[in-house]
Amino acid sequence: MPRWSKHFLVIAALLPLAGQEVKFSTSSNLVIVDVTVRDRSGKPIENLKKSDFAVLEDGKPQQIAVFEFQRLEEQAPAPAARPRTAVAAVRPAPAPAPAARPGQVQYRDRRLLVLFFDLSSMATPDQIRAQQAALKFLDTQMSPADLVAIMSYGSKLHVDQDFTDDREALRQVIQGFRVGEASELAEVADTADANAGEDTGQAFTADQTEFNIFNTDLKLAAIESAVEKLAQLPEKKSLVYFSSGIAKTGVENQSQLRSTVNAAVKANVAIYPIDARGLTALVPGGDASKAMSRGQGIFTGYAQTQQRQQFNDQQETLSTLAADTGGKVFLDNNELSLGIVQAQRDVRSYYILGYYSTNPALDGRYRRIQVRLAGYPQAKLEHRQGYFGAKDFRQFNSEDKEHQLAEALNLGDPLTDLPLALEVNYFRISKGHYFVPVAVKIPGSEIALARRGSNETTEFDFVGQVTDEKGKPVSSVRDGIRVKLDQSNASKVASRSFQYETGFTLPPGSYRLKMVVRENQTGKLGTFETQFTVPDLAKDGPRLKLSSVVWSNQREALAAAVGAADKKGKLDKLNPLVQDGQKLVPSITRVFRRDQNLYVYAEVYDPGADPAPSVEATLTFLDGQKKVFESSPVRLTRADGARLPLQLQVPLGKLTPGRYTCQLNVVDEVGRKFAFPRAAVVVR
């Protein structure tokens, strides 16, 4: 739909003023809207003129500057053997000469289809099915009006073939895919649920990108990058996305999902996801391709419920991509080539309308588009309904920056230029109130530093809001932090991360947290949204009352922080992770090195005390169902009022690199209660 083209006109004054060159510049945003016009019977209405259309943005009339008609003939598929027609590239190298004017059609009367193979989400059998479906389409269903491009994603995005109608060239690219490539990544994004996952008995070796190990946002980011490459073309594009679903993980991915959808809308790309698994009958506990389930979930029905929920979540993400971009999802069908045909048939003759928006504001707000047609009251018009305006950070003053952060909390368009990871914990401070510490991690490779004197500096702005189940704000935070680094630390920034910590005091309940972070050197913004629950640990019950479990590999002095907000001192008094001037830093990604120690902290509330409490805690490392290490027991017999803090420290040098399930075993021997919280950790 909308497409932006910025044009700068620079004029040097003929009479320089005071010996200086005077420059004038102007910029404008060209918005492209593709409109399909059909009569009551569903047939395209042709031979319309520019004067027949009226375009409005937020109710204000816009002058149509670009008008083109794309006539796509309804023809039967052409025979397989056809001469090649040379066409330009989606990602040309070297870049071609610029178009004669903005919005100029490069592929007249052609249908643009992109076959996108997400190899990282498909197991080997699914890759074979997707490959065969694409080959069948090329051989028997591709029409003379079709131009096809091929993209793939394994560990990074590749444009394997530019738009062409050369079937043989397309076949060679598809047949050249290595079956099974990146298929092991399809299992990495699993839920990591220790009670419902499969027991493979294999260790997981972490790659060098620690920040993204437990994050499936990369798949959505790859789609976003793909549609951005297509944004230079004003024509309507269809992206056929072969995948085995995009699973939800412990890291909320709603922000990246919305950003991907909005990028597709701006680029006028409709996404047609195809579930390469075809018609699937889920076998309780997994079929022969899965290892046996660990834990007791297979006997209680928990594993089957999680299996079905995970499958539905994967297809739900595909459905969202289709519905929000104007495409259609193709699920539960073994004839995958029909999904490509579906995308092919949806693109019929249409009109390309372009206008320069009269709204110059770069505020990121949603702008609604209306297209009206005079003289055809029964005509049905299909087009995108609107777009989000652009944002420009360089022109912001201090008030604009504050307004941008406030607007970012309410924008429907999430911001993902700055990647974030976030962890929420909870600790009881009274029977009706809990301290909820929040840790935000930012990869150092994304941070720009500015030199000031002998130091390198950067600044961060943080704004967060907690809302209850009804969407009512219950707490918020606003921090500005300046970071100063000496030369030795600045040289290591790219391989390290920044971690920001704040906290809230909340009663028990279910909440949603939205955190916006801005790096003020480049203006990059990142949004993170997640839901969390603070349980009521004041009520008596059969379970042991246990706080969140914090997993860490780092203790540091409060004075060692590279930056701090003014209100941190007050929060540190409430934070149980701060003791004797030392802070336990949560490991959000839970990736550790063998030369480090694993620190574990939790709190037991209202332990049995007759006459004194007696709580024993150990830490167990499991590789599948096999116990590979267990720490020495720690026994606690003295409680701090109704609170008993647990602290364990385990050296990781005895463990081989891999992925483990780490279980904290807590037994209240007097109260006869226990808890066994687990977490997935990686040792490298």
- The full set of domains in the chain, from first to last, is 1-72+349-390 (2.60.40), 112-183+232-347 (3.40.50.410), 397-536 (2.60.40.10)
* pLDDT band for position 395 (cuts 50, 70, 90): low
Q: Which helix (H) or strand (E) holds 164?
A: strand 157-164
Q: What is the pLDDT of residue 609?
A: 83
Calculate mean pLDDT across residues 573-577.
83
- Select the more confidently predicted residue: 95 or 177: 177
Of 114-123, 400-409, 645-654, which gets the smallest average pLDDT? Answer: 400-409
Which residues are registered as beta bridge partners of 451?
456
Strands (E), 314-363: 350-356
421: phi then psi, degrees, rounded to nearest 5: -130, 150
Structure tokens given for 72: 């796509």
CA distances from 631 to 297, 553, 616, 634, 663 (A): 26, 16, 12, 9, 11
Q: Helix axis angle, 302-325 relative to 254-266, nearest 10°? A: 20
176: phi then psi, degrees, rounded to nearest 5: -80, -10
Q: What is the pLDDT of residue 446?
A: 80
Highest mean pLDDT: which range of 66-75, 206-215, 244-253, 508-517? 508-517
What percent of the chain lies above the pLDDT cut of 90? 35
* pLDDT band for position 299 (cuts 50, 70, 90): low
pLDDT of residue 89 exceeding 60: no
Calculate mean pLDDT across residues 199-223.
52
Q: Which helix (H) or strand (E) holds 488?
A: helix 487-490
Q: What is the DSSP letter of 610?
A: S
Q: What is the pLDDT of residue 579?
A: 83
Q: What is the pLDDT of residue 487?
A: 74
Residue with tokens 């409060």: 558
SS3 119: helix
> 496 and 211 in contact (C-beta within 8 Å)?
no
- At residue 399's C-alpha, the angle toward residues 393 and 403, to 5°, is 70
pLDDT of residue 159 exceeding 70: yes
Structure tokens given for 215: 């994050």
Highest mean pLDDT: which range of 84-98, 383-397, 616-630? 616-630
Q: What is the pLDDT of residue 305?
A: 73
Nearest-angstrom CA–CA distance, 394 and 91: 28
Structure tokens given for 589: 């990604």
Residue with tokens 């870049």: 95
Nearest-angstrom CA–CA distance, 281 and 231: 39
* pLDDT band for position 557 (cuts 50, 70, 90): confident
> 368 and 65 in contact (C-beta within 8 Å)?
no
Structure tokens given for 54: 């009226």
Calculate mean pLDDT across residues 224-237.
89
**Strand-strand pairing, 30-38 and 673-675:** unpaired
Calculate mean pLDDT across residues 579-588.
86
CA distances from 457 to 454, 463, 469, 479, 521 (A): 10, 20, 39, 17, 9
**Buried/exposed 277-295: b ≥16 CB within 10 Å, e otherwise:** bbeeeeeebbeeeeeebbb
Residue with tokens 């720690």: 634
Give the total residue count for the chain.
684
> 358 and 407 in contact (C-beta within 8 Å)?
no
Calculate mean pLDDT across residues 107-131.
91
455: phi then psi, degrees, rounded to nearest 5: -110, 160
Q: Which of 103, 328, 147 is CA-nearest to residue 235?
A: 103
pLDDT of residue 455 exceeding 70: yes
SS3 108: coil
Q: Which of 603, 665, 605, 593 is CA-nearest to residue 629?
A: 665
> 550 and 541 in contact (C-beta within 8 Å)?
no
Which residues are registered as beta bridge partners of 664?
619
* pLDDT band for position 387 (cuts 50, 70, 90): confident
Q: Which of 422, 524, 498, 494 is CA-nearest to residue 215?
A: 422
| DSSP track, 409-443 | HH-SS--BSS--EEEE--EEEETTEEEEEEEEEEE
Nearest-angstrom CA–CA distance, 592 and 583: 18
> 355 and 4 in contact (C-beta within 8 Å)?
no
> 209 and 444 in contact (C-beta within 8 Å)?
no
**Strand-strand pairing, 524-534 and 473-485:** unpaired
Structure tokens given for 10: 């620079």
Nearest-angstrom CA–CA distance, 427 and 604: 10
pLDDT of residue 315 exceeding 90: no
Structure tokens given for 305: 């419920």
Residue with tokens 């777009």: 387
Structure tokens given for 537: 């640990």
Nearest-angstrom CA–CA distance, 368 and 386: 4
| DSSP track, 370-400 | EEEETT-TT-EEE---EEEPPB-STT--HHH
Q: H helices then E strands: how many in the chain?
A: 11, 36
- Select the more confidently predicted residue: 588 or 414: 588
SS3 666: strand
> 515 and 438 in contact (C-beta within 8 Å)?
yes
Dihedral sign for Cα atoms in the order 371, 373, 377, 379: negative
Nearest-angstrom CA–CA distance, 419 and 355: 33
- At residue 635's C-alpha, the angle toward residues 633 and 640, to 5°, is 145
pLDDT tens column, 51-61: 999 999 999 99
Residue with tokens 């100029």: 104
* pLDDT band for position 659 (cuts 50, 70, 90): very high
CA distances from 185 to 91, 94, 120, 222, 646 (A): 26, 33, 5, 14, 36
pLDDT tens column, 236-273: 999 999 998 887 654 456 667 877 888 898 889 999 99
pLDDT of residue 134 exceeding 80: yes
| 143 contacts: CB under 8 Å, gap ≥ 6 | 75, 76, 77, 78, 111, 344
